[in-house]
Structure 1
Amino acid sequence: MATLKQYKKSDGTTAWFYKLYMGKDPITGKERRTTRRGFKTKKEACLDLARLQLEIESKGLNNNSVRTYRELYNLWMSQHTLNIRNTTEQRVRNYFTNQILPSFGNMKLDSITPSICQKILTDWATKYQSFQKIRSYASQVFNYGILLGVIDNNPMERTITPKSISNSTEIKEEVYSKEELHLFFECLHKLKDERALVFFRIASYTGARKGEILGLTWRDIDFDNQTIRFNKTLVELSDGSLCINPTKKDKSKRVISIDNGTSRILKKWKRSVTKKNLSRGIRIDNIDDIPVISTIKGNKKRDFLYKGYPNHVMDKVARKFPDMKIIKVHGFRKTHATLLFEAGAQVKDVQDRLGHSSSKTTMDIYIKVSKNRQNETVELFESYMNG
């Protein structure tokens, strides 16, 4: 649909213009219209209008509506989020918000060259340990542009991946020895923090992840068979809200046996939870649905605890017991694996117990323990030979 009209210019002369409705953009779904002015005669305006209509009919709508990287990213993200978890979406959006869009966002797509991408990629490598993931996501947007016909090639693919400076420094995560773990639990007993004792007992005696433990309900614990089922995890979104997600990988879904001591501690904690609720006038109709590590909100409803809880416990231990060695919460998972190997467990059994999707993760811990054992073996041999 087109409209032709004559209009008066600022200098008093007259000219012609036309408005044309060009249909919906096949990429964005938005309606497109154009207005063209400055034709001296009606005939000139009609000829230009006819030329434009013929071009649209023969070639379809021009994809100029997607001009910048940010516009293309918005289209890509609207499709990408349909197939990913909420936590993955949050992580991907953070990559774009903090690294990718500040570098590429306002650039015109046709102005982004391989040399520009190389300069940006080199800069990322000096700042971010995860720069290769950032590169991958930035590249996916370019590939989507090719799929839509907005661009002809992916300039990020014609770059050389630099070595990461941050990878040159090995990050070592500490674990507790058997003696140090006992000292840690002595600290919790002195703090009289029964809930913290239960959390870290599960962490160090099952090797479960923080989110898996915080996501446990009493339904997941089978006292008759002395097992715990891990099939979900508690996640905290960027807006601070909590939600329960299924475990990310099938290998993480597992039912593992627990020792007698852990079973006794959990039974005692369950009785304590019921008793504390009754003392506050709260009757639990179905305790199976109550989180094992829970809190009581203002409405007296027991709910999942915030993700930072175990970290705050470690901070408290550090303040109250300055001589106590402090490790990361994830270090309790590695502590469990290390102590299992020291006790003589097999690699496959430890992998299944911890829910490692790759045996490499388990083997890395095993190799470290094996090296320590080699030193002990040499010392025993030397002592024997010199005896």
Structure 2
Amino acid sequence: MALIKKDSKTGKYFFVLDVGKDPLTGKRKQLRRRGFETKKEAQLALANLQLQISESKEINVSRYTFREYLEQWFESKKIKLKPSTIKNYEEQLYYNILPYIGEVKMDEFNEAIIQNFIQVLYKERELAPATVRTAYGIVSEVLYKASRKGLVNSAVLDDIVLPRMEKKLRIWTAEQISIFLDAPKVILNLTRYFIGFNISLQTGMRMGEVLGLRWNDIDYENKMIFVRQTLSKIDQGNEYGLVAGGKTLSAMRCIYISDSLVESLKVHQQLIDKEKTIQQQAYSDYDLVVCTSNGSWIHPNNFRRAFKVTVDQLDIPQIRFHDLRHTHATFLLENKVNPKIIQERLGHKNVNITLNTYSHVLPSMQLEVAGKFDGFFSNCDQNCDS
């Protein structure tokens, strides 16, 4: 859009040309030209300027480097990210992305450059497939956004080959679950954090959700736990704190719990109440279920360490704490629980995530379904013959 006007003071013409928004900053830009004797001169100058801008815009915009565009993209992205997520993004950007394709001009991107970038991360850096896929996910998101502004052709992403992820979830069998839950009967000096391990195993809650759980979030009467708070990183370093909400919107949920877990929680609450009574004003009351002896939240590293020590004392395989969540989901799938229910318990965004994550269980379930058909038609044949 352009406006040509006459200056009432000088009697000369001028125009203001709106040249749109800067693709990096998003700020609107305008150009002004003054001092034309006639309106026709102003019109001619305006037409020439528009032609120059049209020719140079295609050149200048496409010559942005990937670093320039990505850094602007990241500043906008930060608005809706948690501090812990920002930290994860920064590590990817400055270690796995920008050193390799940061100086590539936007109009130079092609399939070969991106595929070579993937190869360097996977073959030379020997990064895990999951890490490579995360880095590529960021790159592809940025390039898709740039393609909507005409800076790059999104077709360069169509045939990219990524390293295959081998999903090896370490999970316990039903017998091993039983052994672990019986730990209070066999371990003399059992860690006070065992209640947190029990909660995760029986609910599928994430570590941050377990460590942020408050007594106020538990409904004994209806046997429900409400996920309303998490222990998360609160800055771009490694500082943790209690944060309202969940990892995602779908993570905010309620989970039904067993009678045995209700009883374990009540026993543990008696310990907490006793500590509050003894320490009184010295007790840091965050209303936490899993906490130190003075009521403070537990650092995840200490929680993981206590879990490992506990498992070492039992005759069962060593797994990560997060594998309790996988064990919970797998156990439910194997026991014919509807995947939609499992999705809701885990706080997944949709049931496809649940099914894809635990696809290792599906083959045996498929065989069982096929076996049921055999049994059905076998019975049908017998009835028909009779």
TM-score normalized with structure 2 length: 0.67
Q: Which of 144, 158, 178 is residue 174 of structure 2 equivalent to?
A: 178
Q: Which of 208, 213, 216 is residue 211 of structure 1 equivalent to?
A: 208
The corresponding residue for 1:227 is: 224
Q: Is residue 232–residue 245 contact of structure 1 (8 Å, CA) maintained in 2?
A: yes
The corresponding residue for 2:238 is: 240
Residue 197 (str. 1) matches residue 194 (str. 2): yes
Question: Percent identity over the alignment?
Answer: 23
Query: 1:81 & 1:213 partners in 2: Cα distance?
Result: 26
User: 1:6-61 CA distances to partner (integer Å, 9 max, x unpaired)?
Assistant: xxxxxxxxxxxxxxxxxxx955699xxxxxxxxxxxxxxxxxxxx9xx97997499
- Deviation of the 1:148 alpha carbon: 6.7
Structure 1 residues 103 and 277 mapped into 2: Cα distance closer, same or farther (>3 Å)?
Answer: same
The corresponding residue for 2:324 is: 332
- Deviation of the 1:266 alpha carbon: 0.9
Q: Which of 348, 357, 364 is residue 359 of structure 2 equivalent to?
A: 364
- The alignment yields a C-alpha RMSD, in angstroms, of 4.0
SS at match of 1:247: coil
Name whichever of 105-114 and 327-336 sits farther off.
Answer: 105-114
- Deviation of the 1:198 alpha carbon: 0.6
Structure 1 residues 371 and 210 mapped into 2: Cα distance closer, same or farther (>3 Å)?
Answer: farther
User: 1:283-315 CA distances to partner (integer Å, 9 max, x unpaired)?
Assistant: 669x6x41211125xxx5x33222234421232
Residue 313 (str. 1) matches residue 306 (str. 2): yes
The corresponding residue for 1:39 is: none
The corresponding residue for 2:265 is: 266
Corresponding letter in the other structure for 1:176: W
Query: 1:139 & 1:353 partners in 2: Cα distance?
Result: 31
Q: Is residue 140–residue 157 contact of structure 2 (8 Å, CA) maintained in 1?
A: no
Structure 1 residues 365 and 161 mapped into 2: Cα distance closer, same or farther (>3 Å)?
Answer: closer
- Deviation of the 1:155 alpha carbon: 7.5
Q: Is residue 205–residue 325 contact of structure 2 (8 Å, CA) maintained in 1?
A: yes
Query: 2:26 & 2:250 partners in 1: Cα distance?
Result: 41
The corresponding residue for 1:134 is: 135
SS at match of 2:296: strand
Q: Is residue 227–residue 254 contact of structure 2 (8 Å, CA) maintained in 1?
A: yes
Structure 2: gaps of 5 or more residues: 1-20, 28-44, 373-386
Corresponding letter in the other structure for 1:311: R
Name whichever of 179-188 and 271-280 sits farther off.
Answer: 179-188
The corresponding residue for 1:303 is: 296
Q: Which of 80, 83, 87 is residue 86 of structure 1 equivalent to?
A: 83
Structure 1: gaps of 5 or more residues: 1-24, 31-50, 378-387
User: 1:243-277 CA distances to partner (integer Å, 9 max, x unpaired)?
Assistant: 42522444333222222221121112112112123
Query: 1:204 & 1:248 partners in 2: Cα distance?
Result: 19
Q: Number of aligned pairs?
A: 319
- Deviation of the 1:228 alpha carbon: 0.9
